[in-house]
Chain A
Amino acid sequence: MADPSSAEHAAVPAFPQLHFEYWPTQIFYLLVALVVLYFILTRNALPKVQATLEERRDTISGDLDKAAEFNLAAEEAEEAYKAALQNARAEAQKIADKTKADVRAKLDVAIAEADKRIAEQTAESQKRLEALMQEAAAKAQEVAFSTASALSQRFSPTPITDAEIQTAVSRRLSSSFGG
């Protein structure tokens, strides 16, 4: 703005920003532009953008909630699984204990039975042995008596009665058989 009177400088202003004759048109159209932009943005665009953002936020938080629920359910299932496992273990332990007790009881009965039978057989054997020994002792006595009576008939100067022989043989045999 060296020389305002010069026509050349008026046509090409040195500093257009400070030429106030250009201000009204800029101000007028600026206000028009701002009002138009404001109405386009607030009537059309911004509500949609806001709705989209809210929708997205809701969807994301909804999904997160659902994920948390699933997580909770999974944890519960794990708890239930652990509890069931514990129960099964306890049950198995109980069954094992019971079986062991049963087996022990049956075994005890069988052992008792066997012991009884062994005792019976032992007693019977004992009896038979005794009978055999008695028989043997009787037979020995018989043989000894007959031998002794034959010997006494042959070699004794005096006749010896059967009763005397019997007594002597019995005395002798009881000491040897322990009778």
Chain B
Amino acid sequence: MAEASGSGFSIDPMGQFNIVSLFGGDVDTFTFTNSTLWMALVVLAASSLFIFGSQGRALVPTRLQSVTELAYEFIHNLVKDTAGTDGLKYFPYIFTLFIFIVFSNVLGLIPYSFTVTSHFAVTVVLALMVFITVTVIGFLKHGLGFINFFIPHDAPGWLKPILFVIELISYFVRPVSHSVRLGANMLAGHAVLKVFAGFVYPMSVGGILPLAAMVGIYGLEVLVALVQAFIFTILTCIYLNDALHMH
């Protein structure tokens, strides 16, 4: 932490990720924290968009309506193309995940806000939800035959046990990469912005340089926010497809 340096040069890139109780007291399971507030705002913003956007039902959509319709069709086509028509049964769950993540990521870019998805507590739960659901679907649909998913059928016999172990490990690594990819992207982007922001004031006039860099990085972060939500969703669809069709 740069707090200790004597020159008044204080850069605290991780401070923004602190979980603090908004009404005092210690943080326990049911405490209303800043994370809770921003989750509530995410739900509020997403619900408002979809409730108001879907009221009009005009044949020629209004602007708000066409945002909801674009989001709907985008994820609908993504699920259909990636997981097949039988994957559409799970479309509402995937859509909820996508909307929650994309709103968390984008709202987190508002200055002084809190990014819900920058915490591994959140992304790990999201990824585990997908992982457990998909594994249960796989076993429900194929029974114990789902084990064959871990054994490449065109491999020579003596290689199969080794490949089985490798496939099993890679399967269990999925939720790790799935969650860390999203969380780390959010975390790193916001930390970098904070570091650059910390340089602006101490550099006085020269501070224009880190400020200009921040503008560029901010644009990049908007892109990352959307792309990471998309990647999380498409990986969910791919995992779902594996469970439904076993390759």
Contact B99 A37, beta carbon cutoff 8 Å:
yes
Residues of B contacting A: mostly: helix
Cross-chain contact of A44 among B31, B54, B58, B65 (Cβ < 8 A):
B54
B88-96, B132-140, B204-212, B228-236: which one contacts chain A?
A: B88-96
A147 interfacial by beta-carbon distance below 8 Å:
no
List, in ascending order, chain B residues with CB within 8 A of A46's CB: 50, 54, 72, 92, 95
List, in ascending order, chain A residues with CB within 8 A of B47's CB: 37, 40-41, 45
Residues of A contacting B: mostly: helix
Chain B, interface residues (CB within 8 Å), range: 35 or more
Contact B54 A49, beta carbon cutoff 8 Å:
yes
Contact B187 A34, beta carbon cutoff 8 Å:
no
What 6 A-B pairs are tightest by C-beta distance, nearest first? Answer: A45-B50, A48-B54, A26-B121, A23-B121, A33-B39, A24-B29
B46 interfacial by beta-carbon distance below 8 Å:
yes
Q: How many A-B residue pairs have CB under 8 A?
A: 137
Contact B35 A17, beta carbon cutoff 8 Å:
no
A49 CA to B43 CA, complexed, in Å: 18
A55 CA to B55 CA, complexed, in Å: 14
A13 CA to B187 CA, complexed, in Å: 15
Q: Which residue of B lies closest to A19 (CB)?
A: B19
Chain A, interface residues (CB within 8 Å), range: 35 or more
B170 interfacial by beta-carbon distance below 8 Å:
no
List, in ascending order, chain B residues with CB within 8 A of A34's CB: 96-97, 100
B10-18, B146-154, B159-167, B193-201: which one contacts chain A?
A: B10-18
A27 CA to B27 CA, complexed, in Å: 13
Contact B125 A27, beta carbon cutoff 8 Å:
yes
A174 interfacial by beta-carbon distance below 8 Å:
no
List, in ascending order, chain A residues with CB within 8 A of B18's CB: 12-13, 16
B122 interfacial by beta-carbon distance below 8 Å:
yes
B68 interfacial by beta-carbon distance below 8 Å:
yes
A161 interfacial by beta-carbon distance below 8 Å:
no
A143 interfacial by beta-carbon distance below 8 Å:
no
List, in ascending order, chain A residues with CB within 8 A of B57's CB: 48, 51-52, 55
Contact B30 A28, beta carbon cutoff 8 Å:
yes
Q: Which residue of B lies closest to A18 (CB)?
A: B120
B36 interfacial by beta-carbon distance below 8 Å:
yes
A74 interfacial by beta-carbon distance below 8 Å:
no
Q: Which residues 73-104 in B have Cβ within 8 Å of A in the complex?
A: 73, 92-93, 95-97, 99-100
Report B118 CB to chain A, min CB distance, Å. Answer: 7
A27 CA to B122 CA, complexed, in Å: 6
Cross-chain contact of A29 among B36, B54, B96 (Cβ < 8 A):
B36
List, in ascending order, chain B residues with CB within 8 A of A56's CB: 59
Report A6 CB to chain B, min CB distance, Å. Answer: 11
Contact B40 A33, beta carbon cutoff 8 Å:
yes
Contact A33 B43, beta carbon cutoff 8 Å:
yes
Contact B99 A26, beta carbon cutoff 8 Å:
no
A25 with B43, Cβ < 8 A, contacts A16-B17, A17-B183, A48-B57 known: no
Cross-chain contact of A30 among B30, B39, B65 (Cβ < 8 A):
B39
Contact A45 B68, beta carbon cutoff 8 Å:
yes
B241 interfacial by beta-carbon distance below 8 Å:
no
List, in ascending order, chain B residues with CB within 8 A of A13's CB: 14, 18
